[in-house]
Amino acid sequence: MCTVLLDHYTGTSDVISNNIADLGPVTVNYSGCVNEYILSNPVTVADGDSIMVNLFVNLENIAWARTFVSNSIPSGCQNNELGDDNQAICMAYPDIVAYIGAATPTVQTYHVSVEGSSNSTDGQFILLFNPDGSPIGGFTRPYYDPASSDAPGFDTPLRTFSSNGDGTYTLGNYGSSATSYDRLITDFIPATTPGAVVSGVHDATSPRTPGDTYEATLQ
């Protein structure tokens, strides 16, 4: 169970509430909020060894409001009981990235378009790298952009984030189970300068938009 503080806002009829008295915490419940966190590199621990384990969490865009019927995650949403059931507050699972060592990772945030246009944002990639540039892990997050249509599949942490050895990376986020993917990309090339755009296609085996293009802009 997690609690989200809902800020008051107004607008069209598609709002959670336009009554200032409704400002306050909203509790969302999860079903099966359990996950395994795989280390980016294998670690051997012998008897008597002492190691440092860091657990990173990123709260950027972890909660959002929705005004459409279907939940994009299996739980973690609280519907508006006083109005249209289409309206809800949702929160992604508060997952972590596990890291062995004391170094501070580098974090890159990308605004992603799945329709091949950097003029709109459909979701986010939040990627963590070791100081040497090797991947650690990351998250996908939804992102509201009035210029874009709804693009589900940006609600879970990365299940896979690895180097292909040729300058490209494979990244894929969790699907409906611990052994499935939602989005899978095998040709990702990290950008080095904020504002730079990298592009590619979803893998042919990606459950979400297989073979479709994407563009990712480094923030």
- Three-class secondary structure assignment of the chain: CEEEEECCCCCCCCCCCCCHHHCEEEEECCCCCCCCCCCCCCCCCCCCCCCCEEEECCCCCCEEEECCCCCCCCCCEEECCCCCCCCEEEECCCCCEEEECCCCCEEEEEEEECCCCCCCCCEEEEEEECCCCCEEEEEEEECCCCCCCCCCCCCCEEEEEEECCCCCEEEEEECCCCCCEEEEEEEECCCCCCCCEEEEEECCCCCCCCCCEEEEEEC
Question: What tens digit of pLDDT does each residue of 101-155 get?
Answer: 877 889 999 999 987 555 778 899 999 998 888 899 999 998 887 777 667 788 8
| Cα separation, 199 vs 206, whole angstroms | 16
The residue count for the chain = 219
Question: What tens digit of pLDDT does each residue of 58-90 get?
Answer: 888 888 777 665 555 567 777 766 555 567 778
| Cα separation, 64 vs 76, whole angstroms | 11
User: Do 61 and 144 touch, CB atoms closer than 8 A?
Assistant: no
Residue, of 169 and 145, whose pLDDT is higher: 169
Amino acid identity for residue 97 in this structure: V
Domain boundaries, the chain: 2-33+50-218
Residue 8 has pLDDT above 70, yes or no: no
| % pLDDT > 70, the chain | 77
> Is the whole-model pTM more than 0.85?
no
| Cα separation, 213 vs 59, whole angstroms | 27
Label residue 14 by pLDDT band (50, 70, 90): very low
pLDDT, position 43: 84
User: Do 26 and 4 touch, CB atoms closer than 8 A?
Assistant: yes
- Residues facing residue 170 across a β-bridge: 162
| Cα separation, 219 vs 60, whole angstroms | 13
| % pLDDT > 90, the chain | 33
Is residue 152 classed exposed, middle or buried when 0-12, 13-18 and 19+ CB atoms within 10 A define those classes?
middle
pLDDT, position 161: 94
Question: What tens digit of pLDDT does each residue of 20-60 get?
Answer: 776 677 777 777 656 777 777 788 889 998 888 888 888 88
What would the two tokens of residue 165 be? 């050895």
